[in-house]
Structure 1
Amino acid sequence: MSIQFEQTLITSIPRPEYPRPDWQRADWLNLNGAWSFQFDPTNQGKEQVWFTKDAAEFSSIINVPFSWTNPLSGIASSDKGVGWYNRAVKWQPALAGERIFLRFGAVDYISEVWVNGTFVGSHQGGYGTFEFDVTAHWLLDSNNSIVVRAEDYDHSYQTRGKQGYGEIRGIWQTVWLEARSQNYVLDAKFTTHLDGRVEVVSNVIAGQASKAAISFSFADKAVDHTIELDLVEGSNEVRTSFVVANPQLWSPESPFLYEGEILLNSNEQVDSISTYFGIREISTTLFEDRSYRWITLNNKPIYLNGTLDQSFHPEGYFTYPTDQDMHDEIFQMKRLGLNFVRIHIKPEEPRKLYWADKLGLLVMEDMPCFWGNPDEQARTAYENEARELIERDFNHPSIFSWIIFNETWGLKTDSQAANLASDGVKTNDYLPETQEWVRRMYHWVKQVDPTRLVEDNSPCNYDHVETDINTWHFYINGYEEVRTHVTKVVDETFVGSTFNYIGGNVQTDAPLMNSECGNVWGMEFGTGDSDLAWHYRYMMNEFRRHDKMCGFVFTEFRDVLNEFNGYHRIDGSDKQFGYEWFVPDMQIADLHTPDFIVIDAPPCQTVEAGAEISVPLLRSSYSDLYHGQALSLNWELWYDNLGIRTVADAGIQQLAWDGYGVAPLEALSISMPNQAAVAILAIHLTTLEGTSVTRNFITFDVRDEQASNHPGSISVAVTSYVESQWEHSWHAIQEHKVSGGPIGHFAYEIQLPDQEEQAVIYEVELAFEAGAKYLMGQNKTGAIKLASDISFMHGANADPEYNKNSYLMTDAVKQRSNLKVWVDDELVETILLPDDPADSRGVLSWHYQPVNNQLNEAGSYGYLCKIALPSKLAAKLNQKRSFKLVLEAEDGGLALYGRNAGRYPIDLLVKFQ
């Protein structure tokens, strides 16, 4: 590693901000940047006293705080084991006589630290923060040597979570030095109440017995509270309380923080900490005559629209490249209309929790799991780390729930060889004694933090023991399947039910919510990159049908290495859901509004032209913003009549909007168009003044069985070509779509009516739906099936190019194609096909999927192509009455959509007059 690179790292410190804005001191030094580094593959470093080496004797340079596994570290090695860090530092506190602490955000997994060759301490655990008082070993006027030995062997008892996406090894959060007075405040926990009462438990460390005063000053002296102390040497617990007048409550809509400082005055020294708290209460409550509870925030029901956040980045893995990245992720979640996030199988970096506090996003925080048996070593390690994490994050108002375990990972014990499964694989069991340990952990967390909801195990195996939230996971594709499953779960949720519980335990009145859902794992080949917009919308509808449901967690916020079902791609870029095509200005956020209109019907129905249809509606309200008011329900039934937006029916009705929960509304009676169409029932709920509340839609495939007899047009099936020349070509969507690529053509013989049927043909127009055709790996060499097992949770590769369920959602790959249209060897038009899209606009490609969990180019669609043939050519066809139509792609391929595919209910349509 060159000296030039080292200087660049030193002068451009990564992650330069203070890592704990919830507990910040002013006098500190960020130690991120270039450290000398060396692997110790034979684990001889301690024996060879590497902690006495100069930094120049180490073989490499690493960019702290990035794990040695990821690209931003400058090392990017997959090696497990031992790594040594070395850094020379010259620094002294601004005030004489202060203590010096060396602090680590997180190091995975075992850390040992030396300062100037003297051992100062060790730490075990990959996620918790820790520190060492190095005052006695620090040289104020010269360089100091800091040496860190980090050991990570992936032991089965380690809390690792889902590090298979990108391993965390060694230092992976900020390292810094910090000055404190001889007597200092170690921590303070704020417990808030809606009446403004704030209870504080502080821990003051005193170097010697003394008189002192501790002050709490927040919100420009709106809080100004001081108490006198008689400190004893060592640790002093300080309990106090104060009342905030006219308290401003924290919520996602109004994330007010009481920002200020804690001051400890003693022995003519002042310890000052910048911190904050938010006044809010999380609980569960019975409303009216219901027998089940709802989750409440500040004594009001809240419907939790959430997403699963793996917090993985391809450059820094689980370390965010910048603070702005953390801010932007919270902002993006808010932009989606979400009000909470589940941080998955790991605690989040404190700065991201700060942005959740600041911007207003509730957080459900997981404990990281271990992957071995729940033996004594694993339990002890886990309990120690859980204690650290809850202590660290206690004051974040955004955190409303702790999840202790996930999907029984780390809770199953390997059975004996005699109990092998029939395939010879060793089985494992969630043993009764482990269930009791989980129960003890639940009660322990409740004791440590009574201010939040606690979940014992976020289950995919229906195996709760005791919990504040009755959640479950499901990954199912298909409207009927999702509807049936969610209804079954709701029906089997009641006090005393054994459903979703294990070991003879039964349900209480705990609130019901989903804590993982999506369509990625509901597919035969596991993951894949396909349209999720269609599935997502009807799943939101099904959740909001049920008064018992308190919310959901959608998997997931961003794609990761082998799961391609995020709102955003792995690089954070947007995915196009296409909802705005159905309802003007509709966004994903319209499906997340607290006040919502449920269209209690399938996402698409097949109906006859001119039919009268009744559409059931429900109101779902989890906000009192509009209670007692009248709202306006505006609806229209429209269709795209080959490029002309046509309204078939419309109406407005006023709704009395009052009360929490789900209740029926008067059904809509609508009249279908008198022709074949993909019709859209678009609804828009507004205030009487026109302010938007929510939008929603469903679709109809309107069939006109007499259409073939209509004069003036003929329809040619896209599969009826007489000639095809491509390197790769195939049929899809039950023979209603043909594709070829990358260069080639489809040719059709078109027979026009004879003179007896149509005396004169003056004009001929062609209309068809076509798109470019991106050739995936599966189109060239076939699909590759990967086992959908636990390896996916550990980062197993799942290339969507070879997954038979994949059809890359709009804009995953942007490929254009130039389409040439030939009639009897005469070029009549060249059309630019801008893309090979797939999203919710591919209504027919979704509606006619034969098997829900084996997608066949689902959601794919094209662009409407309309071509009026030149008059000279029309004159020739008036005599000839037939022609050869050739559709040729010069490059970029071609997909042609027939009657039951895409978004227009047409085959190749030839219109004449």
Structure 2
Amino acid sequence: MAALSAAAQWQPAGDRIKTVWGENLDPQNVLPEYPRPQLVRGEWQNLNGLWNYAIRPLGETPEEFDGEILVPFAAESALSGVGRCPGAANGLWYERTFSVPEKWHGKRVLLHFGAVDWKTDVWVNGIAVGSHTGGFTPFAFDITEALAKNGNTLRVRVWDPTEKSYQPRGKQSDRPEGIWYSSVSGIWQTVWLEAVPQRYIREVRTTPDLDRKRFLVEAPLSEAVPGDLVEVALYDGETQVAAGRALNGAPVELSVAEPKLWSPDTPFLYDLKVTLRHDGRIVDQVRSYTAMRKFSTGRDRHNVPRLMLNDKPLFQFGPLDQGWWPDGLYTAPTDEALAYDIVKTKELGYNMIRKHVKVEPARWYYHCDKAGIIVWQDMPSGDITPGSPRWQMNRYFTGEEKQRSPESEACYRKEWREIIDCLRPFVSIGVWVPFNETWGQFKTPEIAAWTKAYDPTRLVNAASGGNHYRAGDMLDQHNYPMPALLLFDTDRVSVLGEFGGIGQVVEGHLWEKDRNWGYVRFNSPREVTDEYEKYAEELLRHLRYFSAAVYTQTSDVETEVNGLMTYDRKVMKVEPERIREINRKVCNALNE
């Protein structure tokens, strides 16, 4: 009854536009889906829902709370029920109680956070269990020894300085305008408990090797003991197609004589079952999935450098996807909403998405894996100083790079590595993008080389639209609104990382009544589509040089009204069938 009463009192904050999913959100059943599709176990408990919250000056601990917040929506969002920015001078506190099922007795209990922005400290029953910095990656603590028999209290403190510090923040701002959007503080992805054995499989890393027609599967353990045997079975539906075993932490090799290949046209996924045995006894078992595909560069019959998928040239074409929501900000209201933009992107005939200066929850990449959408993954920008370094987008850089402090550089390297680590299992990711334009860009050749060495199975786009070096696998230019070739590299692939931005104001679907803008403005879906077609024709005229392009953008975001859809996803601002026909022509342009 108390839960029903609390749910009845919850209301979205403010009066901004909302998505259909946000309007129909059930606060007692928030994002209930299993949050980690690449490593599945059966025993888990979702902690999303109404928590107590308080905003207090740094150094103060709340004696009482300000009200309730709906987790996992950021404090600034409407769906949190709070609609307040804590600010850099304050800490954001959370508290809730939970109980652990009796059947978990004798197992380890892990407390998982999908993502919290930015610095997190956690207590269970007054016992500190861990801290974490980084706003975009999952983390977990073993809380077994802190648990009580008759109910537990979880308390979380978050500090988020946003642009007042150097940490990666993407497009968040305390003063949103133009291309800068609302700040996102606190818990913004699912919080959950997991029961695991005393020793357990910590992760599953699968590397496809098309050249050798094999998969290499690594399964790091929480604690390794001599004699541990890892078994891996690969399935095509219900049929086992390969199996292997390994001792002492060695990778398991799975050979497949005739592998089915993953591509946008045929996004085939294999299932995996990974088992840890010791002395013949099953210690732990998890489910996962993978796919056979290869991202590389090569040359076409005209000797032009091209992006290759499975050793064939493919023109990669898709929208700039920023992943913002009018009601949830960084957090989609439901899993259906999270998948919606991907589904629409596919329906519109694209084969790629550039995920722009944001990292999504694991389920977003899972939906891309299933749909067959290639992902270019940006590193969220941070430590942005206007005018430093100077922007020389249309020539190779001749100036002086930004000098970050040792703390800022260490933060960037830590968070970029964690992002690659957590996203590495997703087969759809084809390109890592360490920098966007000149936003915090530093030591570019070194960062590009490290990224390539750390994950040689993907391509590296050193600086999308940024200051250019002969580094990474591609040269990426931005030009608005019309596609234009202003620099060409005969040794690396040339791509157009941003163009377009055709704006249309749709009354009744605006974040703000005024201040709305686009790079160009039109008044109807037909006019927008006519202009889009002109840009596509220009792009095709540059086909001898460009090998990929990114159109701005999937949806409107706050006052930026140049989306294919409105911010609330209720209105398509283009003519879908015409757009699909245009896009398929572009995506198939290199087919020989």
2:21 maps to which residue? none
8 Å CA contact 1:594–1:622 kept in 2: the answer is: no
2:358 maps to a residue whose letter is K
Which of 499, 513, 527 is matched with 2:495 structurally? 513
Which of 100, 117, 121 is matched with 1:112 structurally? 121
Superposition map of 1:503-902 within 5 A:
509-520=491-502, 527=519, 529-530=521-522, 531-545=527-541, 546-577=543-574, 587-594=578-585, 621-623=589-591, 660=592
8 Å CA contact 2:357–2:381 kept in 1: the answer is: yes
2:446 maps to which residue? 440
1:298 maps to which residue? 310
8 Å CA contact 1:527–1:564 kept in 2: the answer is: no
8 Å CA contact 1:456–1:465 kept in 2: the answer is: no
Alpha carbons of structure 1 residues 20 and 116: separation in structure 2 relative to 1, 3 Å = same
5+ long unaligned stretches in structure 2: 11-25, 174-180, 386-403, 504-515
Alpha carbons of structure 1 residues 244 and 222: separation in structure 2 relative to 1, 3 Å = farther
Q: For 1:316, what is the secondary structure of its paired residue?
A: coil
8 Å CA contact 1:17–1:323 kept in 2: the answer is: yes
**Per-residue deviation at 1:221?**
4.3
Q: Deviations over 1:514-559 (max 9, x none)?
A: 01001459xx986575253232111111111222221210000101
* CA–CA distance in structure 2, aligned partners of residues 385 and 346 of structure 1: 12
Which of 325, 342, 363 is matched with 1:313 structurally? 325
Q: Deviations over 1:69-110 (max 9, x none)?
A: 101011111231311111111113635421110010000100
1:90 maps to which residue? 99
8 Å CA contact 1:519–1:532 kept in 2: the answer is: no
Which of 446, 464, 473 is matched with 1:468 structurally? 473
2:185 maps to which residue? 169
2:6 maps to which residue? 6
8 Å CA contact 1:282–1:296 kept in 2: the answer is: yes
Which of 259, 263, 266 is matched with 2:271 structurally? 259
**Per-residue deviation at 1:573?**
2.9
Which of 394, 402, 409 is matched with 2:439 structurally? 409
Which has more strand, going by share of residues? 1
Alpha carbons of structure 1 residues 5 and 463: separation in structure 2 relative to 1, 3 Å = farther
* CA–CA distance in structure 2, aligned partners of residues 93 and 282 of structure 1: 47
**Per-residue deviation at 1:476?**
3.4
* CA–CA distance in structure 2, aligned partners of residues 74 and 494 of structure 1: 51
Q: Deviations over 1:691-722 (max 9, x none)?
A: xxxxxxxxxxxxxxxxxxxxxxxxxxxxxxxx
**Per-residue deviation at 1:595?**
6.9
8 Å CA contact 1:113–1:122 kept in 2: the answer is: yes
- Is 1:242 matched with 2:288? no
- Is 1:363 matched with 2:379? no
8 Å CA contact 1:35–1:87 kept in 2: the answer is: yes
2:144 maps to which residue? 135
**Per-residue deviation at 1:225?**
2.0
Which of 34, 47, 51 is matched with 1:18 structurally? 34
Structure with greater contact order relative to length (CA < 8 Å, sep ≥ 6):
2
Which of 17, 30, 44 is matched with 2:60 structurally? 44
Which of 129, 153, 157 is matched with 1:145 structurally? 153
* CA–CA distance in structure 2, aligned partners of residues 307 and 92 of structure 1: 44
**Per-residue deviation at 1:218?**
2.7
Q: For 1:463, what is the secondary structure of its paired residue?
A: coil
2:512 maps to which residue? none
Q: For 2:221, what is the secondary structure of its paired residue?
A: strand
**Per-residue deviation at 1:334?**
0.5
Which of 233, 236, 248 is matched with 1:216 structurally? 233
Q: Deviations over 1:132-176 (max 9, x none)?
A: 01111122x310111111111223211100123222101000000
User: What is the percent sequence identity of the aligned residues?
Assistant: 32
Q: Deviations over 1:364-393 (max 9, x none)?
A: 010101034622211111111111110001
Alpha carbons of structure 1 residues 175 and 40: separation in structure 2 relative to 1, 3 Å = same
* CA–CA distance in structure 1, aligned partners of residues 246 and 458 of structure 2: 31
8 Å CA contact 2:501–2:563 kept in 1: the answer is: no
* CA–CA distance in structure 1, aligned partners of residues 346 and 517 of structure 2: 32
Q: For 1:514, what is the secondary structure of its paired residue?
A: strand
Superposition map of 1:368-407 within 5 A:
368-372=380-384, 374-407=404-437
**Per-residue deviation at 1:594?**
4.5
**Per-residue deviation at 1:622?**
2.1
1:457 maps to which residue? 463
**Per-residue deviation at 1:510?**
1.1
2:68 maps to which residue? 61
* CA–CA distance in structure 2, aligned partners of residues 363 and 217 of structure 1: 24
**Per-residue deviation at 1:563?**
1.5
* CA–CA distance in structure 2, aligned partners of residues 528 and 286 of structure 1: 35
* CA–CA distance in structure 2, aligned partners of residues 278 and 207 of structure 1: 28
1:317 maps to a residue whose letter is L
**Per-residue deviation at 1:200?**
1.9
Q: Deviations over 1:307-349 (max 9, x none)?
A: 0011110000010100001222111001110000001001122
Q: Deviations over 1:618-659 (max 9, x none)?
A: xx7323xxxxxxxxxxxxxxxxxxxxxxxxxxxxxxxxxxxx
Q: For 1:94, what is the secondary structure of its paired residue?
A: helix
8 Å CA contact 1:474–1:516 kept in 2: the answer is: yes
* CA–CA distance in structure 1, aligned partners of residues 419 and 517 of structure 2: 37
Q: Deviations over 1:246-269 (max 9, x none)?
A: 211001111111123212123745
* CA–CA distance in structure 1, aligned partners of residues 190 and 154 of structure 2: 15
* CA–CA distance in structure 2, aligned partners of residues 561 and 280 of structure 1: 37
**Per-residue deviation at 1:4?**
4.7
8 Å CA contact 2:234–2:270 kept in 1: the answer is: no
* CA–CA distance in structure 2, aligned partners of residues 366 and 250 of structure 1: 22
2:531 maps to a residue whose letter is H
For normalisation by structure 2, the TM-score amounts to 0.84
**Per-residue deviation at 1:19?**
1.0
2:207 maps to a residue whose letter is T
Q: Deviations over 1:30-71 (max 9, x none)?
A: 0000111111125312xxxx5xx7xxx423111100011101
* CA–CA distance in structure 2, aligned partners of residues 452 and 337 of structure 1: 23
For normalisation by structure 1, the TM-score amounts to 0.55
Q: For 2:266, what is the secondary structure of its paired residue?
A: coil
Comparing 93-102 and 300-309, the one that deviates more: 93-102
Equivalent pairs, count: 529
* CA–CA distance in structure 2, aligned partners of residues 541 and 197 of structure 1: 41
8 Å CA contact 1:520–1:565 kept in 2: the answer is: yes
- Give every structure 1 segment of 4 or more consecutive aligned residues whose post-TM-superposition deviation is greater than 6 Å: none
2:291 maps to which residue? 278
8 Å CA contact 2:232–2:272 kept in 1: the answer is: no
2:221 maps to which residue? 204
**Per-residue deviation at 1:183?**
1.7
Alpha carbons of structure 1 residues 93 and 131: separation in structure 2 relative to 1, 3 Å = farther
* CA–CA distance in structure 1, aligned partners of residues 369 and 424 of structure 2: 12
8 Å CA contact 1:28–1:177 kept in 2: the answer is: yes
1:404 maps to a residue whose letter is P
* CA–CA distance in structure 2, aligned partners of residues 63 and 528 of structure 1: 38
**Per-residue deviation at 1:5?**
4.6
